Structure formats: C-alpha cells, structure tokens
Amino acid sequence: MCGQEINTRSITIQIEGAELLVCPSCSKHGKPVVKSKPKRPSTSARTSSPRSTFTPRTSSSQPRRSGSFGSSKELVTDFAEKVRLARQKMKLSQKDVSIQTKISVSELQSIETGKMRPSDDLITRLEKYFNIKITEEVKVYGTKEQKKGPAFQTLGDIVVIKKKKDDEE
C-alpha cells in the first residue's frame, strides 16, 4: 500500500473484501486474515450412491455447438407423482421397492416428494421396475456453430479500438 518493498515478512490483511499482502506498517489499515487448515471429511461419510454433479466440458477438436442435433431425453416435470402412483398401484411399500430396486429408502422418499432429481441410472431402474416412462424425448432446434475457443467473451472480443489519424498540414 505504501509502495515500499517488503523486506521483512508480509502480512495478509483484508480491506473492503479484498485480501492484500502488505508490510507490517501498512497492516494496521485492515483486518488480519487468519487462514485455517482445510477440514478433512470424515471417513464414515455417506455410503449411498454419488449424485450426479456438473462437470465442465473440455475443448475438443470439433467445433462446439450451442445445441445438439436430433433429440435428447429430459425428465418429465411430474416424475415424482408418477413414481409414487406406480408404487401405490402395485400396493408396495417404499421399503419393498427399495430392496428390489437396490435404491435406498431415503432416496426413494426424496424422489417421490420431488426433492431429489434421480440420476440416469436410477431413472432406468425405476422405469424398468414400474414399467413407466418418466423421461420424454425433446427435439432441439436452432443449433448454431460457435468458434473454437473460450466459452466466454473478453473485453478485447467486444471493443473495437479506433486509431487517431494525424492530419499533417
């Protein structure tokens, strides 16, 4: 902050939400930041199947498209009600279904209440067991090719710089 080189140890402080490395004399202008050690997850963590997570796409040799050709499968909006009604029609308890489909009771309860979106594996198991369709084909239109590169635009992509022309007299 003061512009001097830091010859002694630097101190990390926080000023208006920004973390800065400063000399000891400038450290009085902000709050000191205490970095805690990251907590390790316990080994007795959840043993149920992992839920699907978002993974960003990596760039490939083919140009990216904003949509896909043909059709894709989407989960219907009333999937929870369809699963619950199919189970009740077969006069089975949630425990019976969970044993036969190898889905935990809590996952089945969450799916039936609509609190959890089932993974692709659970969707296929439920569709086969209850003989129902909880996915629908969705056709994608208006595909557009994009240039290969970053998925976001930078300021340099948007701004056009005009150069001054010197008028010589």
| Residue-level pLDDT, tens digit, the chain, 169 residues | 787 778 778 888 888 888 888 888 888 888 888 776 555 555 554 444 455 554 444 444 444 444 445 667 888 889 899 999 999 999 999 999 999 999 999 999 999 999 989 898 999 999 999 999 988 888 776 655 555 666 677 887 788 777 777 765 5
pLDDT at 107: 92
Per the CB < 8 A criterion, the answer to whether 106 and 166 are in contact is: no
Measure the CA–CA gap between 72 and 142, rounded to whole angstroms: 14
Domains of the chain: 1-34 (no CATH), 71-139 (1.10.260.40)
pLDDT at 145: 58
pLDDT at 58: 46
